[in-house]
Amino acid sequence: MPGTELLVVFFGLLSAFAWGAGDFSGGLASKRTSAYTVVVLSQFASLVILALGVSLLYREPYSSEAAILGAVAGVCGAAGLVALYTGLARGPMGIVAPLTAVTAAIVPVVFSAFDSGLPSVADSVGIILALGAVWIISRGNGQSNLVLHDLVTPLIAGLGFGLFFIVIAHASDQATIWPLVFARGSSVLFILLVGLLLHKLGRPTFVQLPLIVIAGIFDTGGNLFYILATRYGRLDIAAVLSSLYPAATVFLAWILLQERLNQRQWIGVVLVLLSVILIAI
């Protein structure tokens, strides 16, 4: 495999780690603050960082097409978040979380199969192992029984996240940061509106603000690394590798909070390593 193609693995894994670290930070902040408040403020922090970056550090030409696609991607991702929180509140987390993550990865895989053709055999096996790893690691100790009614919100959430993967990747063909600026702007407005309508917003404590800002920083990095991954490789591989973010969240909880990984999750970690090796060869 040419050296440049290895960059999709590198940036995809960086994206997964950044998104996983963002979820870890946001999860800690959400223990004492409304999850909707944490998401709005962290994405607003991300918006500020991206806006400053595009205006001061990395000036790139403005593209109306990139702006529109970015805004659409932001709405898709925000809708996915709302559906995810709804599912977590109403259904079993042991089903909602892994089904959302796997669906989010499958959507760009299916799209890429029609758009770019099927990947190689090694890549295909690696993608299947990665999807299995996401399910196993996300589910953790979940022993919930599968109920048809519980499938609706996680499938909608996964579809929203999967569409975000696809649309933001195509928007990045026009520009790198501008699509993310508009994506963050539209997602902040969408979730803020939903939070107000559902009365889900609250006032964060001063202690939680650093964690919220850190979550926004990592989220920004995850988005940028994902876009870079799509520049150097196939959309499906970039999306699947980036979707390994639950592994990063679990790993950080294991290291920093001393949360124990069960045997099933260790199997998921092994599958992650095998999938990365197969995709990289």
- The pLDDT assigned to 99 comes to 87
Grade residue 206 by pLDDT with cuts at 50, 70 and 90: confident
- The pLDDT assigned to 63 comes to 77
- The pLDDT assigned to 6 comes to 85
Res 64 pLDDT > 80: yes
Calculate mean pLDDT across residues 164-172: 92
Grade residue 167 by pLDDT with cuts at 50, 70 and 90: very high
Grade residue 241 by pLDDT with cuts at 50, 70 and 90: very high
Res 182 pLDDT > 90: yes
The Cα angle at residue 145 between residues 142 and 149, in degrees rounded to 5: 115
Phi and psi at 226, nearest 5°, equal: -65, -45
Q: How far apart are CA 268 and CA 136, in angstroms?
A: 5
Q: How far apart are CA 11 and CA 83, in angstroms?
A: 28
Burial state string for 160-186 with b = 16 or more CB within 10 A and e = fewer than 16: bbbbbbbbbbbbbebbbbbbbbbbbbb
Q: What is the pTM of this model?
A: 0.89
Calculate mean pLDDT across residues 125-130: 92
Grade residue 142 by pLDDT with cuts at 50, 70 and 90: low
Q: How far apart are CA 197 and CA 64, in angstroms?
A: 30
Calculate mean pLDDT across residues 137-165: 79
Q: How far apart are CA 129 and CA 131, in angstroms?
A: 5
- The pLDDT assigned to 229 comes to 93
Q: How far apart are CA 178 and CA 10, in angstroms?
A: 23
Q: How far apart are CA 191 and CA 209, in angstroms?
A: 18
**Between these two residues, 146 and 95, which has the higher pLDDT value?**
95
- The pLDDT assigned to 140 comes to 66
- The pLDDT assigned to 248 comes to 87
Structure tokens at 237: 């591989």
Grade residue 252 by pLDDT with cuts at 50, 70 and 90: confident
* Residues contacting residue 261 through CB under 8 Å, at least 6 positions apart: 250, 254, 269
- The pLDDT assigned to 15 comes to 95
Grade residue 129 by pLDDT with cuts at 50, 70 and 90: very high
- The pLDDT assigned to 44 comes to 92
CA separation, residue 269 to residues 51, 95, 133, 272 (Å): 36, 19, 7, 5
**Between these two residues, 82 and 5, which has the higher pLDDT value?**
82
**Between these two residues, 33 and 9, which has the higher pLDDT value?**
9
Domain borders along the chain are 3-54+62-280
Res 240 pLDDT > 70: yes
- The pLDDT assigned to 149 comes to 67
Calculate mean pLDDT across residues 59-76: 86
